[in-house]
């Protein structure tokens, strides 16, 4: 979370799936520059709001539940 050329705090995501989930929920992608850490990868920049943080928590909860379900099904 930083303030730079956008003039407001922004949130940088590294997960394409999480970014897609947030866009599906109506959040606007501001930029998608190449990652400085991983060649051939991009990061996803959104305006940092409380609503975005709640959406990220929702995504994390859904993926956690999904992983638990897959684990349970695979052990049957």
Does the structure show a pLDDT above 60 at 44?
yes
pLDDT of residue 69: 81
**C-alpha to C-alpha distance for 43 and 70, rounded to whole angstroms:** 28
Helix (H) or strand (E) holding 9: strand 9-13
pLDDT tops 60 at residue 57: yes
Burial code (b: 16+ CB inside 10 Å, e: under 16) for 38-76 equals eeeeebbbbebeeebeebbeebeeeeeeeeeeeeeeeee
Q: Using a cut of 0.85, tell me whether the model's pTM lies above it.
A: no
The confidence score (pLDDT) of residue 15 equals 96
């Amino acid at each position: 979370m930083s303030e730079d050329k956008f003039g407001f705090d922004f949130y940088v995501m590294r997960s394409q799936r999480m970014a897609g989930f947030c866009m599906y929920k109506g959040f606007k992608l501001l930029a998608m520059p190449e990652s400085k850490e991983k060649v051939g990868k991009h990061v996803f920049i959104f305006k940092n709001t409380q609503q975005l943080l709640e959406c990220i928590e929702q995504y994390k909860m859904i993926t956690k539940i999904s992983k638990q379900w897959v684990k349970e099904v695979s052990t049957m």
